[in-house]
């Protein structure tokens, strides 16, 4: 009986900690198996793969993770993806598109400010029609899938499980900190970049709880990445993903440019993101899909 209490609560439900452990173990295991199978098939690694091969791998990783989370929700809660604010209905694409547009606003605001203030420049890029079809398009599609992967894990399953056991705001802070730490291995990572990423991640978690839509945040995450790298050609979290439709540069001290980590470690970037997300949080529409959790007021 005492051993049973370690795994289950008074309502005979699996405890939140074990649900999280199960998700982490299965996700890591599935991703590892996919990597092994990919290499066994003789397919190239990320650095040597084509953009379309990278898209295929992103689709496999995201699809497998969604399957794992759907399985755990069914096993532990007898619920579908709607439990993590991810209903597959006619509203999904609307929230995703609105989130994508929302995610592009901080980037446009940042670069607009930089150009007006004289420390930024935005000029036409060097992409040709062939590169758009062979590189940019599949890279953007892969970016959408990988943004979905991160949101599924952090602000989907993990945020829900933590919110069942502790205050939802505290759960959003924890997932925000983890979001920042996930970028610690990126090239040029610095404490400013990780801190600002954690702040943005916390606000994104609060926006999920407020809006009741993970699609909105998948779109926001994708819109941020796509507009910064694919549209404006900026380095993304220390990674140079190639040419964009435009070529943008920031000059000046590290607090303005972000230094080796790129614009996301700059003070203007976090100010723009906090401003946009705060306004969105104030005026965002709410849905009835709060998964049984108390929504953020």
Burial class (CB in 10 A: 0-12, 13-18, 19+), 42: exposed
Per the prediction, the chain carries an average pLDDT of 90
Cβ atoms within 10 A of the Cβ of 240, count? 12
Report whether pLDDT(241) > 80.
Answer: no
201: tokens are 């991640």
27: tokens are 């996700």
pLDDT tens for residues 70-87?
A: 999 999 999 999 999 999
Q: How confident is the model at residue 288 (pLDDT cuts 50, 70, 90)?
A: very low
pLDDT at 282: 83
| Segment (H or E) for 122 | strand 120-124
**Whole-angstrom Cα distance, residue 223 to residue 218?**
8
Place of tokens 């802070």: 173
Asked if 228 and 122 touch (Cβ cutoff 8 Å), the reply is no
pLDDT at 10: 76
Cβ atoms within 10 A of the Cβ of 234, count? 27
Asked if 244 and 170 touch (Cβ cutoff 8 Å), the reply is no
**Whole-angstrom Cα distance, residue 243 to residue 238?**
15
pLDDT at 148: 96
Q: How confident is the model at residue 132 (pLDDT cuts 50, 70, 90)?
A: confident
Secondary structure tally for the chain: helices H, strands E: 12, 2
Asked if 119 and 33 touch (Cβ cutoff 8 Å), the reply is no
Name every residue whose Cβ is closer than 8 Å to that of residue 22 and which is 6 or more positions away in sequence.
72, 76
**Radius of gyration, alpha carbons of the chain:** 20
pLDDT at 46: 75
pLDDT tens for residues 133-179?
A: 888 999 999 999 999 999 999 999 999 999 998 999 999 999 999 99
Percent of the residues in the chain that have a pLDDT greater than 90, as a whole number: 74
Span of 36-40, 226-230, 293-297 with lowest mean pLDDT = 293-297
Domain boundaries, the chain: 89-283
Cβ atoms within 10 A of the Cβ of 170, count? 12
255: tokens are 């607090």
**Predicted TM-score of the model (pTM):** 0.92
Cβ atoms within 10 A of the Cβ of 292, count? 11
Report whether pLDDT(291) > 70.
Answer: no
* Strand partners for 239: 236
Report whether pLDDT(130) > 90.
Answer: no
Asked if 180 and 191 touch (Cβ cutoff 8 Å), the reply is no
Name every residue whose Cβ is closer than 8 Å to that of residue 230 and which is 6 or more positions away in sequence.
136, 139, 140, 143, 241, 244, 245
Q: How confident is the model at residue 285 (pLDDT cuts 50, 70, 90)?
A: low
Name every residue whose Cβ is closer than 8 Å to that of residue 141 and which is 6 or more positions away in sequence.
55, 58
Report whether pLDDT(268) > 90.
Answer: yes
pLDDT at 243: 76
Asked if 238 and 260 touch (Cβ cutoff 8 Å), the reply is yes
């Amino acid at each position: 009986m005492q051993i049973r209490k370690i795994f289950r609560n008074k309502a005979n439900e699996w405890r939140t900690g074990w649900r999280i452990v199960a998700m982490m173990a299965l996700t890591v295991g599935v991703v590892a198996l996919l990597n092994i199978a990919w290499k066994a098939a003789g397919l190239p690694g990320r650095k040597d793969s084509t953009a379309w091969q990278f898209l295929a791998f992103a689709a496999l990783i995201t699809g497998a993770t969604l399957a794992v989370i759907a399985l755990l929700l069914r096993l532990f809660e007898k619920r579908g993806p709607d439990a993590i604010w991810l209903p597959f209905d006619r509203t999904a694409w609307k929230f995703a598109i609105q989130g994508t547009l929302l995610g592009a606003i901080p980037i446009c605001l940042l670069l607009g400010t930089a150009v007006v203030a004289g420390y930024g420049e935005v000029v036409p890029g060097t992409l040709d029609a062939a590169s758009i079809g062979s590189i940019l398009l599949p890279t953007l599609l892969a970016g959408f899938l990988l943004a979905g992967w991160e949101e599924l894990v952090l602000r989907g399953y993990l945020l829900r499980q933590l919110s069942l056991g502790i205050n939802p705001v505290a759960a959003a802070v924890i997932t925000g900190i983890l979001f920042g730490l996930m970028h610690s291995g990126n090239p040029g990572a610095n404490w400013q970049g990780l801190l600002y990423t954690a702040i943005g991640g916390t606000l994104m978690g609060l926006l999920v709880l407020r809006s009741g839509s993970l699609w909105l945040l998948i779109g926001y995450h994708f819109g941020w990445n796509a507009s910064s790298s694919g549209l404006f050609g900026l380095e993304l979290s220390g990674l140079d993903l190639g040419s964009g439709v435009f070529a943008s540069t920031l000059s000046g001290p590290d607090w303005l440019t972000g230094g080796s980590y790129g614009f996301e470690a700059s003070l203007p970037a976090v100010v723009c993101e906090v401003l946009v997300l705060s306004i969105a949080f104030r005026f965002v529409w709410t849905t009835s899909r709060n998964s049984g959790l108390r929504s953020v007021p």
